[in-house]
Amino acid sequence: MRSIAFINQKGGVGKTTSTANVGACLATLGKKVLLIDLDPQANLSIHLGINVHGKDLSVYQMICGKRKVAEVLTETAVDGLEIIPSDIDLASAEIELVNTVGRETIVKFYLEELSSEYDYILIDCPPSLGLLTLNALTVANEIFIPLQTEFFALQGVSKLVQTFEIIKKRLNSSLEITGIIPCMYDSRTKLGQAVLDKINEYFEDKVFATNIRKNIKLSESPSHGMPIITYAPDSNGAKDYLALTKEVIAQEKMMLSETTTKQTSEIKEHAMQ
Ligand SMILES: Nc1ncnc2c1ncn2[C@@H]1O[C@H](COP(=O)(O)OP(=O)(O)OP(=O)(O)O)[C@@H](O)[C@H]1O
Ligand SMILES: [Mg+2]
């Protein structure tokens, strides 16, 4: 199972759009997917047509121990795609958890009660590096960073990478940055290409080959409560997210061969001792 946190403390860069649409595309391609909405704005839940406001059925109630994970787990209209939704109550969690022991691992703790098996867990984070994002980084073993291909794209990225390094050292040694998603790309502008070049220079082979182009259908689909492949399957937005998702799946093979190489060399080392 792969668990991936979509993070960037910068707001409006495409975290939620990417989590929802990669999740929906993975499910359409036959994977079993769990989405976790860790943003009190609940944009991911609403994007998928789930509104639990006032029902006490969000990730917040799970974090407080008032609901079991099975109670907050919600099916979406896409086959194979489930979600643990959020609502505005989650906004108080950061303050309420301040004095809780193990506050960075509380979501991970409750997820252990999950009985279903998933191929992928995707976590949508709020635009901050606060406690909710730290929780996502202890559940996940991978980070995807959506970046808007605009002038300020790389501003703050070093802080993000620094946070990742601290979490990896202190809380989650298996965490890796495994994908950079260039979002809202406009090929008609020189700026778009220039920013993309800078992103490639900084993150090298971690950048996905697929750029998510600016596409009006992508901005319309959340208000219809549907992922792009359901709302506008022929749009550029759907084509881009499907291409990106195929790249994500292709990473599985590379990871498997890396693990096999590592295991083989460990066995050889052991045999020589
Ligand atoms: N490729 C795209 N083309 C056009 N609009 C897009 C595209 N990607 C995202 N948007 C729109 O841009 C806005 C911000 O996107 P999104 O909500 O995914 O960002 P975010 O990083 O999750 O924001 P926040 O930090 O507030 O959680 C949304 O209105 C979304 O519909
Ligand atoms: Mg968001």
Task: Confirm if 28 and 231 have CB atoms less than 8 A apart.
Answer: no
Q: Please tell me the predicted confidence (pLDDT) of residue 187.
A: 84
| Cα dihedral sign, 63-64-70-76 | negative
133 lines ligand 1 (CB under 6 A): no
Write the residue with the smallest CA distance to atom 6 of ligand 1: 219
How many whole angstroms separate alpha carbon 172 and alpha carbon 165? 10
Average pLDDT over residues 122-141: 96
Ligand 1: nearest atom to the Cα of 17: 18
120-124, 148-152, 260-264 — which is least confidently predicted? 260-264
- Which residues partner with 260 through β-bridges? none
Q: How far is the CA of 222 from the centre of ligand 1 (A)?
A: 10
Q: What is the mean pLDDT of the chain?
A: 94
Region of 83 on the Ramachandran plot (φ > 0 left; ψ -120 to 50 alpha; else beta): beta
Q: Which domains does the chain have, with CATH numbers?
A: 2-272 (3.40.50.300)
Average pLDDT over residues 72-86: 97
Q: Please tell me the predicted confidence (pLDDT) of residue 57.
A: 94
Smallest Cα–Cα separation from 130: which of 88, 83, 90, 78?
Answer: 90
* pLDDT interval class at 184 (50, 70, 90): very high
178 lines ligand 1 (CB under 6 A): no
Q: Which of the ligands is closest to the CA of residue 182?
A: 1
Average pLDDT over residues 102-117: 92
- Taking only the tens place, the pLDDT of each residue in 208-224 is 999 999 999 999 999 99
Average pLDDT over residues 169-174: 96
Smallest Cα–Cα separation from 147: which of 244, 6, 24?
Answer: 6
* pLDDT interval class at 155 (50, 70, 90): confident
Q: Please tell me the predicted confidence (pLDDT) of residue 214.
A: 96
* pLDDT interval class at 229 (50, 70, 90): very high
219, 224, 231, best to mutate for ligand 1 pocket (most atoms within 8 Å of CB): 219
Ligand 1: nearest atom to the Cα of 184: 1
The answer, yes or no, to whether residue 259 has pLDDT greater than 80, is: no
Query: pTM of the entire structure?
Result: 0.94
Q: How far is the CA of 59 from the centre of ligand 2 (A)?
A: 16
* pLDDT interval class at 266 (50, 70, 90): confident
Beta-sheet pairing, 81-84 with 74-75: antiparallel
- Taking only the tens place, the pLDDT of each residue in 13-69 is 999 999 999 999 999 999 999 999 999 999 999 999 999 888 999 999 999 999 999
Write the residue with the smallest CA distance to atom 16 of ligand 1: 14
Q: Which of the ligands is closest to the CA of residue 217?
A: 1
Ligand 1: nearest atom to the Cα of 212: 1
15 lines ligand 1 (CB under 6 A): yes
Average pLDDT over residues 84-111: 93
